[in-house]
Structures are given as structure tokens and as C-alpha cells.
Structure 1
Amino acid sequence: MENVMQRSLIVLGLVIALVGLAWPWISKLPIGRLPGDFMIDRPGFKLFFPLTTMIIVSVLISVILMFFRK
């Protein structure tokens, strides 16, 4: 059990470091500005609901986890 937790934390740390290094390129992607991402901007109120982005991220995570289970 300890080895699994140690490996998981190491992998999580590496993923966070890689995302941090790739952030200049990741920030240029249109994620969060896709059709279906709703923004309501009124005086004194701002709401951003990234519906399409959440669906895409959910599908990607599900596919990645499906590959790791096998």
C-alpha cells in the first residue's frame, strides 16, 4: 500500500511540473472559450460556466483512466 501511495504522489508531482513547464503553450489553446461556454456579464455580477470545456475534459480523463485500468 505504501508503494502505491508513493508512486501516485511522484506521478502527480511530475504531472504538475510538466503542466507548469508547458503552461505558455497550454494557455494559448482555446480551452474555456469554446462554443457552449457561457459567460454572463452584468454590472456587479459575472458568471462563467464552461459547459463544453467541462465535458471535453471529463471525456479525456475518462479515456486516460480507461487505458490505465487495463
Structure 2
Amino acid sequence: MTGFGRIFIVIGIVFIVIGIVWSLFGRLPGDFSFKKGNVTFYFPIMTSIIASIVLSLIFYLIRRF
């Protein structure tokens, strides 16, 4: 398997893990939700930070090996 194929497999696994974690925890503390009338604005700050850390670690490990 080529290196490019492995990257796609790892990215797919990362998205699956993020989806499972997101469905288990839902909204984390630090995620902002504003509702005014019939408009809702949801900004997942903490979820974005955690996803960024996890992806950075995974890409660091991929680059290392």
C-alpha cells in the first residue's frame, strides 16, 4: 500500500473517531449556542480545539513514521 493510501485510511479513521466522540459527548463546556427568535447559532469552540489537538498529534505521528 502506498503512503498516500495510508493517509486516506488514517484520515477516515480519525473522522470515525471524531464522529463517535461527538455523538457521545454532544456539546462540550465551552461550546457557545445563541438562540434569538427562530435563529440558532452554534459555535463549537471547545470541540474545535480538541479536534485540532487530536489531528495535530495524528499528523505528527504520521510524519514521524
TM over 0.5: yes
- Distance in 2 between residues matched to 1:10 and 1:58, nearest whole Å: 18
Q: How does 1:30-69 map to 2 (within 5 A)?
A: 30-31=25-26, 33-69=27-63
In 2, the alpha carbon distance for the partners of 1:61 and 1:13 equals: 9
Provide structure 1 residue ranges, at least 5 long, that are not aligned to the other structure.
none
Amino acid at match of 1:34: L
Distance between the aligned counterparts of 2:51 and 2:8, measured in 1?
Answer: 22
Which residue identity lines up with residue 39 of structure 2 in the other structure? Answer: F
Structure 2 unmatched runs, 5+: none
Runs of 4 or more, structure 1, over 4 Å off, are none
Q: Choose between structure 1 and 2 for higher RCO, CA contacts under 8 A separated by at least 6 residues.
A: 2
For these two proteins, the number of residue pairs brought into alignment is 59
- TM superposition shift of 1:66: 0.3
* TM-score (norm. length: structure 2): 0.68
Q: Is the radius of gyration larger for structure 1 or structure 2?
A: 1
Measured in 2, the distance between the counterparts of 1:13 and 1:57 equals 12
What is the distance in 2 between the residues matched to 1:54 and 1:30?
13
